[in-house]
């Protein structure tokens, strides 16, 4: 007997939802499995159905990717679609308790925190769920596998920190790459060349860090020769522990904004 094709509804396909769709398609999921509902999206990849309104049918999975402040307006129209489905929410701040109130007919609820690297299968995925047994967790993990590495959290409160680190983190890394390129330009390099060098250096360093059993601190030590060029640069970075303090404040600000969004969603 032919296996039934899984049905996935993506409600709101902006930057993040689009990255996830790209990752799923690249991972081999049938485009005909997807229905996208988005009032503004111009087009979807071949085989992916694009609608302006939620269809009157049920799905296996529903990915909620609208703006968090739109949740109250969008939820009533999804009542049929989420009935018996696993609802996957990428809405920052929308807690499981809020989702349970908005979507009482869903079979299970999962908050997912990915980042744009889902498009190339390299996103960390922070997960916290309600209503899933072990088999249900495995099905969610299998669905998300083309997007990156899943990390189930012990409690929902940790998701705000994961959002700050893994969700917002790429933007902070991109700013650092930009700063490196600007620094290289200030030293006399051609701007385009400095940009290429910064991107390639960060790509290589990240790949090595991901593949190495050593800690990032140990990898940094191995690059550094006493009294050498790297040591001179690190002396500036480490002065007064300012770099670590700034990064901590950046993550704390992002985490705190997630807490604020959760309060607003409950209101």
pLDDT at 266 over 80: no
Show which of 94, 119, 154 is a domain's final residue: 154
The verdict on 100 and 188 lying in the same domain is: no
> Residue 267 falls within a domain, yes or no?
no
pLDDT at 69: 84
The verdict on 60 and 133 lying in the same domain is: yes
Show which of 125, 154, 183 is a domain's final residue: 154
Residues of the domain holding 207 = 169-262
pLDDT at 70: 87
Query: Which DSSP letter does residue 2 get?
Result: P
* Tens digits of residue pLDDT in 209-250: 999 999 999 999 999 999 999 999 999 999 999 999 999 999
The two tokens of residue 130 are 């309600």
Query: Tokens 């087009």 sit at which residue?
Result: 43
Query: Tokens 């996208």 sit at which residue?
Result: 36
Q: In this structure, are residues 89 and 110 in contact, taking their beta carbons and an 8 Å threshold?
A: yes
> Residue 220 falls within a domain, yes or no?
yes
pLDDT band at 4 (very low <50, low <70, confident <90, very high): low
Residue 2, judged by CB atoms within 10 A of its CB (0-12, 13-18, 19+), counts as: exposed
pLDDT at 3: 53
Q: What is the dihedral of CA 113, 119, 120, 126, to 10 degrees?
A: 10
The verdict on 173 and 147 lying in the same domain is: no
The verdict on 226 and 202 lying in the same domain is: yes
pLDDT at 96 over 90: yes
> Residue 28 falls within a domain, yes or no?
yes
Report the pLDDT averaged over residues 245-263.
Answer: 90
pLDDT at 26 over 80: yes
- Give percent of the chain with pLDDT exceeding 70: 97
Helix (H) / strand (E) containing 265: helix 242-266
pLDDT at 131: 94
pLDDT at 265 over 80: no
CATH number of domain containing 99: 3.40.50.720
* Tens digits of residue pLDDT in 152-182: 998 998 999 999 999 999 999 999 999 999 9
Which whole-number Å values give the CA distances from 170 to 68, 115, 139, 216, in the listed order? Answer: 20, 7, 27, 17
> Residue 54 falls within a domain, yes or no?
yes
pLDDT at 263 over 90: no
Which residues have CB under 8 Å from 22's CB, separation 6+?
45, 118, 119
* Tens digits of residue pLDDT in 53-84: 999 999 999 999 998 888 889 999 999 999 99
Measure the CA–CA gap between 205 and 219, rounded to whole angstroms.
9
67 bridge partner residues: none
pLDDT at 137 over 60: yes
pLDDT at 123 over 50: yes
Cα angle at 92 between 88 and 97, to 5 degrees? Answer: 65
The verdict on 141 and 204 lying in the same domain is: no
> Residue 230 falls within a domain, yes or no?
yes
CATH number of domain containing 226: 1.10.3730.10
pLDDT at 267: 64
Which whole-number Å values give the CA distances from 149 to 60, 143, 231, 254, in the listed order? Answer: 22, 11, 34, 22
The verdict on 191 and 81 lying in the same domain is: no
The verdict on 116 and 204 lying in the same domain is: no
The verdict on 14 and 58 lying in the same domain is: yes
Average pLDDT, the chain: 94
pLDDT band at 194 (very low <50, low <70, confident <90, very high): very high
Cα within 13 Å of Cα(95), Cβ side: 17
pLDDT at 2 over 50: no
pLDDT at 1: 34
């Amino acid at each position: 007997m032919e296996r039934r094709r899984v049905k996935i509804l993506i409600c709101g396909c902006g930057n993040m939802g689009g990255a996830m769709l790209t990752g799923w398609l690249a991972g081999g999921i049938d485009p005909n499995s997807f229905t996208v509902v988005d009032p503004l999206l111009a087009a979807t990849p071949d085989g992916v159905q694009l609608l302006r309104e939620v269809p009157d049918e049920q799905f296996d999975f529903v990915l909620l990717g609208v703006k968090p402040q739109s949740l109250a307006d969008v939820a009533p129209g999804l009542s049929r679609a989420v009935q018996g489905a696993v609802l996957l929410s990428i809405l920052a701040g929308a807690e499981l308790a809020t989702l349970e109130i908005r979507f009482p007919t869903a079979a299970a609820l999962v908050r997912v925190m990915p980042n744009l690297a889902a498009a190339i299968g390299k996103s960390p995925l922070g997960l916290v769920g309600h209503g899933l047994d072990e088999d249900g967790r495995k099905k969610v993990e299998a669905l998300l596998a083309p997007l990156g590495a899943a990390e189930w959290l012990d409690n929902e409160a940790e998701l705000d920190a994961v959002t700050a680190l893994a969700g917002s983190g790429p933007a902070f890394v991109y700013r650092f790459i930009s700063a490196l390129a600007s620094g290289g330009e200030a030293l006399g390099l051609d701007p385009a060349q400095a940009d290429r060098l910064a991107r390639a250096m960060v790509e290589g360093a990240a790949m090595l860090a991901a593949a190495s059993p050593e800690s990032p601190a140990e990898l940094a030590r191995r690059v550094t020769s006493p009294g050498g060029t790297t040591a001179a640069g690190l002396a500036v970075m480490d002065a007064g522990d300012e770099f670590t303090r700034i990064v901590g404040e950046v993550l704390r600000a992002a985490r705190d904004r997630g807490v604020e969004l959760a309060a607003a969603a409950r209101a």
